[in-house]
Amino acid sequence: MDSHSISKRFSTSLVFNILRGVMTLTTSIMLARLLGPDDFGRMAFLIASFVAFKSLVDMYSSHAFFTFLSKETRSRNFVSIYWCWMAFELIFSLILVGLLLPSSFVANIWHNENRLLVVLALSATFFQQSAWQVACQMAEANRSTIAMQKLGFCIVLSHLLFVLFLNHFGQLTLTIIFIGVSIEWGIGTYYAARMYKASGDKNDSLSSVLSEFWVYCKPLIPLAWLSFLYAFLDRWMLQLWGGSKEQAYYAVASNFVMIILLATASIIRIFWKEIAEAYHQGNIDKVYRLYQKTTRLLYFIGAFLAGCCIPWASEILAIAVGDDYIAGNITFMLMLLYPVHQSLGQIVGVVFFATEKGRLQAILGAGFMIISMFVSYYVLAPTDAVIPGLSMSSEGLAWKMLVMQFIQVNFNFYVAARIFNWKYEWAYQFYVLGGAILIAYLVKFLLADYFASLYVTFSLSLICYSLIVVFLLHKFPAQISGITRKELNVYLSKFGVR
């Protein structure tokens, strides 16, 4: 099979993302146990705050960069100019946080954390969440998915070994963890970026490149700044009114969410590349086929995985991170549902970005973010505040994320259907997800009293649940996953299944 084909790139990406996801989750579980809820919550808040800060300085330039690379091969000068911009982002951020911001401001925003630790968290987040992501975009634009995934696997494995090494010698501190992350992902960024083969064309001048980015990013800049406030205030209010423990409950749930999003993470850059190229070539039929099949398949996968975990949420928490985190059980259950619709939101967002409808994405995103920030305050604020809230801590934030995302995703789907003259499909969201959860609970209920061992009960429940879902998928493939029976048979035949 051609290593540049969509199916080959997706299957390889999925395998490596599963391996990376398992190792990343294992590392997060280890850190949650070894650091405890307080320190793990502090680390989670520092990382989350700078992930939000990324939107403020990036201003969707990375989205523009990948879209431009996906449409056609760009020059070395074009790539160099963008990496100069990335270097400016890092230097500006380090000077701002490390030197310019008053100590009182740093103490209030990051809740009395040491300034050096804050700067190290900024550096680690930049290399892992910004620089590495841009380098991966370059590799994917060159369809070097397999090589990039192997490199990512090596980095995650090295981080796991690094954490084990630190714990063995009693040096597992946030300071050393952040330094290690910066080095690991900095090295990975260098080698991933080298996978892109730029053209020798020298026509990309500084002024032309800046103009190209300005046209793409201008309508998105207000959305970027609003995205920063939206993401930062959620976690800041949770830290302020809930404390490090509630932050830790939310962070643990978010780490498990990444497992359910593995399929989406595996396809998202491939999907973006193919959509941008197809739209650039005027092949709208291909855009729709990719959009329809990808959304339905990812939703089914997310619903299936959510069904695997939700009935066993408290047991998973107790085994994975210990009894210290059991108080976050409801938060954990709610967040397991979050990635099911998040995958749809990412796909429809990619369609808007890849087809250069940035202004529309900005308007839609800004409206929902503004509403969401008010809802966040209401569910998180204390009952005795000047404007009283519900004081629901991490559970309230999880409810807010779940409900607001469901509304936003379906509204964006409706808008996309109107713009591209596609059919707006919504019914499958209820019967696929509802059916998966109902089957999972029924299986657990029927098997719960037959075996004394929790591990035996869970394993048999998972097997029975999977067999029932596979049977239904085989009987009703198009209704459940959007794949026709013929396509399903062709796929199964590759594994020797008839």
SS3 75: strand
Question: Measuring CA to CA, which residue among 426, 402, 282, 403 is closest to residue 348?
Answer: 426
Q: How much is the mean pLDDT over the chain?
A: 89
Q: What does the alpha-carbon distance between residue 192 and residue 153 come to, in Å, rounded to a whole number? A: 12
Q: What does the alpha-carbon distance between residue 69 and residue 196 come to, in Å, rounded to a whole number? A: 10
More confident call, 431 vs 15: 431
Question: Measuring CA to CA, which residue among 446, 466, 448 is closest to residue 457?
Answer: 448
pLDDT band at 273 (very low <50, low <70, confident <90, very high): confident
Token pair for 80: 């160099």
- Region 262-291: what's the mean pLDDT? 79
pLDDT band at 283 (very low <50, low <70, confident <90, very high): confident
Distance from first CA to last CA of the chain, Å, rounded? 20
Q: What does the alpha-carbon distance between residue 308 and residue 436 come to, in Å, rounded to a whole number? A: 8
Q: What does the alpha-carbon distance between residue 111 and residue 335 come to, in Å, rounded to a whole number? A: 25
- Region 318-337: what's the mean pLDDT? 92
- Region 182-188: what's the mean pLDDT? 96
Q: Give residue 488's pLDDT.
A: 65
Helix runs in 355-475, H state only: 358-380, 393-420, 428-447, 454-475
91-115 pLDDT tens trace: 999 999 999 999 999 999 998 999 9
Q: What does the alpha-carbon distance between residue 12 and residue 49 come to, in Å, rounded to a whole number? A: 32
More confident call, 489 vs 483: 483
Token pair for 387: 């404007």
Own/partner long-range contacts of 165-168 (Cβ < 8 Å, ≥24 apart): 167/30, 167/34
Examine the pLDDT at 491 and tell me if it is beyond 60.
no
Q: Give residue 360's pLDDT.
A: 85
pLDDT band at 189 (very low <50, low <70, confident <90, very high): very high
449-472 pLDDT tens trace: 777 788 899 999 999 999 999 999
Q: Give residue 211's pLDDT.
A: 93
Task: Tell me the sheet residues that pair with 75.
Answer: 199
477-486 pLDDT tens trace: 888 887 777 7
Tell me phi and psi for residue 75, to 5 degrees. Answer: -80, 165
- Region 10-24: what's the mean pLDDT? 78
Q: What does the alpha-carbon distance between residue 372 and residue 440 come to, in Å, rounded to a whole number? A: 31
Give CA separation, 94 vs 23, 81, 226, 455, 460, in Å. Answer: 30, 20, 22, 48, 52
Q: What does the alpha-carbon distance between residue 358 and residue 223 come to, in Å, rounded to a whole number? A: 10
Q: What does the alpha-carbon distance between residue 466 and residue 460 come to, in Å, rounded to a whole number? A: 10
Beta strands in 89-239 (DSSP E): none
pLDDT band at 492 (very low <50, low <70, confident <90, very high): low
Burial category of 264 from C-beta neighbours within 10 Å (exposed 0-12, middle 13-18, buried 19 and up): buried
Helix runs in 72-131, H state only: 76-95, 103-109, 115-125
Examine the pLDDT at 1 and tell me if it is beyond 60.
no
- Diameter over CA atoms, the chain: 72
Examine the pLDDT at 210 and tell me if it is beyond 90.
yes
- Predicted TM-score of the model (pTM): 0.83
Residue identified by tokens 């999972």 is 440
pLDDT band at 371 (very low <50, low <70, confident <90, very high): very high
138-163 pLDDT tens trace: 988 887 878 888 899 999 999 999 99
Q: Give residue 489's pLDDT.
A: 67
pLDDT band at 495 (very low <50, low <70, confident <90, very high): very low
